[in-house]
């Protein structure tokens, strides 16, 4: 079971890489107001959701404690990210503030995941 959980943690990290990487590579474009939500960002956010839910189930099946409040906060933040990226996925230019908000919320979730023990 440990191996399976670690595989899903790795997939979870690949999801972060895709979502945050899509944001970071467009910071210059964001400054110019020409950034857009790329498929990598949308798919990364979806991977986060699927692997996150799977990790909750796997940890519970393995009788490991899961911090439900922390997971709830991460889930709420991700739902906002996913909603924004999904709704605006076809827009060729996304408002600077909105694009920055997605990067900020993603970064916030990384710190929630690592600092909230
Ligand atoms: C943008 C959104 C998210 C980010 C950046 C993120 C980040 C992370 C990181 C860095 C880890 C590994 C560090 C650790 O073990 O604590 C992790 C683990 C984990 N994540 Fe996420 N996560 C996100 C969304 C979610 C969601 C939506 C769920 C569940 C619905 C979830 C559930 C979990 C679980 C169960 C673990 C295993 C370790 C633990 O018990 O905390 N994550 N996440």
- Alpha-carbon distance 97 to 105, whole Å? 12
Q: In percent, how much of the chain has pLDDT > 90?
A: 98
The pLDDT-based confidence of 16 (bands split at 50, 70, 90) is very high
Q: Is 113 in the pocket of ligand 1 (CB under 6 A)?
A: yes
Ligand 1 nearest-atom number relative to CA 5: 37
Q: Mutate which of 40, 50, 53, 74 to test ligand 1's pocket (most atoms within 8 Å of Cβ)?
A: 74
101-113: buried (b, 16+ CB within 10 Å) or exposed (e) per residue?
A: ebbeebeebeeee
First to last CA, the chain: 22
Residue 92 confidence (pLDDT) above 90: yes
Q: What is the pLDDT of residues 98-109, one digit of tens each?
A: 999 999 999 999
Q: Mutate which of 42, 44, 52 to test ligand 1's pocket (most atoms within 8 Å of Cβ)?
A: 52
């Amino acid at each position: 079971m440990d191996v399976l959980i670690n595989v899903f943690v790795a997939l979870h990290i690949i999801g972060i890489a895709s979502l945050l990487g899509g944001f970071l590579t467009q910071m210059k474009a964001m400054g110019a107001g020409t950034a857009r939500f790329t498929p990598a960002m949308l798919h990364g956010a979806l991977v986060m959701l699927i692997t996150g839910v799977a990790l909750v189930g796997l940890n519970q099946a393995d009788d490991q404690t899961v911090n439900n409040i922390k997971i709830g906060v991460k889930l709420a933040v991700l739902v906002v990210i996913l909603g924004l990226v999904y709704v605006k996925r076809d827009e060729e230019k996304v408002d600077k503030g909105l694009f920055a908000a997605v990067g900020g919320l993603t970064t916030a979730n990384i710190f929630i995941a690592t600092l909230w023990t």
